[in-house]
Amino acid sequence: MHAPTMHTATTYASLSGLPAAQQPYWPDEAVLEEVERELAALPALTTEDEAVDLMRGMELVARRSALLVQGGDCAERFHEAVPELVRQKVDTLQGLAAIMRAGSRSPTVAVSRIAGQYGKPRSSPFETEDSGRRMPSYCGDAVNDPEFDPTARIPDPRRLVTAYECSTLVLSELRRSWSGRPILERVYASHELLLMPYERPLVREGARGAYSGSAHFGWIGERTRRADGAHIALARTVHNPVGVKLGPTVSPEDAVELSRTLNPEGVPGRLTFIVRFGAKEVDRLLPPVVDAVAREGAPVVWLCDPMHGNGVRVRGHKTRLIEPMRAEVASFIRVLHARGQWPGGLHLELTPDPVTECVSERDEEPSFTDYRSTCDPRLNPEQSADMVSHFLSLL
Ligand code: PEP
Ligand code: MN
């Protein structure tokens, strides 16, 4: 029996004293502390001005004058931090943003899951291989290695520094892609604000107050959004635009509390709710949440993540079916329109590679011949473009 890589219960982050869910069992506290000091001494990855530029775009989305497409890998890999692959990812997302601009005649902000999407929350501390072998879960390249080997799964704090180094390389390529583009048409970098020993040392003091120097936009995941937890406290501390995933366990009161906590001044564009209820639940759960936030909360950007509430297993593969994802997008737009709210856009897991990770109900014998993701299944370029067109056709 191997030790799990994650704490199963909520634990207390040494730095903040607040409960921080989904933190790995770092085996060596002394190395971890050294890593935190090292990260604190390194330059911020992103600048405050870049975050403020993105905030301007997010504000337009909140004011119904623009749309947003956010997308990329579920889990980035260190070895993919090379110019050619980064360019492909950026071009793929820019292609989707171009479809949105053309189809809606609205400016469209593009936010990539890139340059830091190296830590993964997991529903279970163990995962099981097809052969039935059980192993501590892979928690992202910033924590451990996906190889099916118990030693590879031991969390290594030095990986947090590698995550920083890879993010530097990715961001320099990303910034290269900005040249000649108006500020609104760049691709900005985002990831889940998950790993406290990585995120906290990268909170920096800017001219306008504390900001996250790890990303332009960061979001708090479905498993770490408790109102009194360390992750929400981190998001509250920084003035970047931030998001929170809302899944089936969120109550309308929780959503109102989050909007008040994270956006007490009601700044349009500051807060995005990324909803991922699943096709079966969205019609029942989304309306009371939207109503409560509209009535009692601050302005928010509403984004639809049709991926994370629609996971299924087909012939032993973790996949997502296209049809329920399309149904969730349609419900999302219908619910928001019925309430006079603006469906701000999509949050997708996608890749430039021609993978067969997500499949259609119509495929009689879905063949997962090209399955590369180490975590969740992603849309290939054709599937992503179809999803964006579907969104536009209902807007
Ligand atoms: C993710 O976006 O990869 C993720 C884990 O999402 P969620 O927090 O919505 O489950
Ligand atoms: Mn995912």
Distance 13 CA to ligand 2 centre (A): 24
Distance 374 CA to ligand 2 centre (A): 10
Residue with tokens 């070895």: 79
- Pair type for strands 209-212 and 217-220: unpaired
* Domain-embedded: residue 143: no
The pLDDT assigned to 4 comes to: 66
Name every residue whose Cβ is closer than 8 Å to that of residue 161 and which is 6 or more positions away in sequence: 35, 38, 39
The pLDDT assigned to 205 comes to: 96
The pLDDT assigned to 16 comes to: 63
The pLDDT assigned to 7 comes to: 53
* Domain-embedded: residue 157: no
Q: How many structural domains are present in the chain?
A: 1
* Rounded Cα distance, 352 and 391, in Å: 20
The pLDDT assigned to 320 comes to: 97
* Domain-embedded: residue 37: yes
Task: Give the global pTM.
Answer: 0.96
The preferred substitution site among 308, 348, 357, 358 for testing ligand 1, maximizing ligand atoms within 8 Å of CB, is 308
* Domain-embedded: residue 137: no
Distance 346 CA to ligand 2 centre (A): 14
* Domain-embedded: residue 166: no
Biggest CA–CA distance in the chain, Å, is 58
Query: What CATH number corresponds to the domain at position 248?
Result: 3.20.20.70
* Domain-embedded: residue 173: no
Averaged over successive runs of 10 residues, the pLDDT of the chain (395 residues) comes to 55 62 94 97 98 98 98 98 98 98 98 98 88 91 95 97 98 97 96 97 96 98 95 96 98 97 97 98 98 94 98 93 98 98 98 97 88 95 98 98
Residue 128's DSSP bridge partners are: 134
The protein residues having their C-beta less than 5 angstroms from ligand 2 (an ion) are 74, 376
Quote the Cα angle for 72-77-81, to 5°: 85
* Domain-embedded: residue 170: no
* Domain-embedded: residue 142: no
CB of 243 closer than 6 angstroms to any ligand 1 atom: no
The pLDDT assigned to 3 comes to: 66
Atom of ligand 1 nearest to the CA of 245: 9
Residue with tokens 């292609």: 95
Domain that holds residue 56: 6-117+178-394
